[in-house]
Amino acid sequence: MVEIKTDGELDAMREAGRVVANALAAVRKAAAVGVSLRELDQVARAVLDEAGAASPFLGYLPRFAPTPFPAVICTSVNDAIVHGIPTGYRLRDGDLVSIDCGATLDGWTGDAAVSFIVGMPRPADLALIDAATGALEAGIAAAVAGNRMGDVSSAIGAAAAAAGCGLPADFGGHGIGRRMHEDPHVPNRGRAGRGLVLRPGLALAIEPMLLSGGRDDYVTDPDGWTLRTADHSQAAHMEHTIAITPAGPRILTLP
């Protein structure tokens, strides 16, 4: 069921989103050559703990996963697309890192992701991150009252196609509120003018995941969580939680 939030509830989600933004900023600042992914998870945990927030990621067990998720952030490096588990892997010069983080504060949830380079970047990786950022911005720009979900999906898909990038089949954004994953699903491809009418009070997590090789297929690691590009090309993931308002889309996961 699609839930419409009041202005006060969206304000509460904004506070959860602020915690997410702060955690992502702290993780990005801490990410350096030699730092382990598990250490980055500890950085995010400290931010959530200081804010009195819980993690919707920790212990999460969707149908596809063999075990509960063991961390408060997803750490996806290079050809990993999403859902990477923080391990003892130590970052190397030039790694493309995608960090996904959520926070629940006073019963309301925010969810966002960012991709960045550790050390010396490769131009192609910077271009991929720019393309993912552009796809996110295009999706948000289309998330206006009276538009349809297909307008958001079409905008994301068109931006990815223009950059020559693939999008993993079956994965996209989602509704969000008291729970991290609520109705509706937000596809990263679609037909403009189709689907759910966007109403003020609807909160969505919009999250394009771009694959530099141009293919849409992926494989799942033995951990049952990490998705990787099938051709081992690089991937980038960008995400914001936003609200549909009469004045236009409101981003709830900014600092």
Structure tokens at 48: 């959530």
- 189 within a domain of the structure (yes/no): yes
Give me the mean pLDDT over the 89-108 stretch: 98
Calculated CA dihedral for residues 207, 212, 214, 219, nearest 10 degrees: -70
- 77 within a domain of the structure (yes/no): yes
95 has pLDDT over 90: yes
- 219 within a domain of the structure (yes/no): yes
DSSP category for residue 207: -
Number of helices and strands (H, E) in the chain?
4, 13
Structure tokens at 194: 């189709």
Q: For the chain, give the percent of residues with pLDDT over 90.
A: 99
pLDDT digits (tens, 9 = 90+) for 141-160: 999 999 999 999 999 999 99
Range of the domain at 79: 7-251
Question: Number of folded domains in the chain?
Answer: 1
- 176 within a domain of the structure (yes/no): yes
- 217 within a domain of the structure (yes/no): yes
pLDDT digits (tens, 9 = 90+) for 234-246: 999 999 999 999 9
Give me the mean pLDDT over the 103-113 stretch: 98
pLDDT band for 250, please (50, 70, 90 cuts).
very high
Report the residue count for the chain.
255
- 2 within a domain of the structure (yes/no): no
Q: What is the CATH number of the domain that holds 161?
A: 3.90.230.10
Q: For the beta carbon of residue 254, count every other beta carbon within 10 angstroms.
A: 13
215 has pLDDT over 90: yes
pLDDT digits (tens, 9 = 90+) for 8-42: 999 999 999 999 999 999 999 999 999 999 999 99
pLDDT band for 169, please (50, 70, 90 cuts).
confident
- 1 within a domain of the structure (yes/no): no
Distance, CA of 93 to CA of 116 (rounded, Å): 12
- 208 within a domain of the structure (yes/no): yes
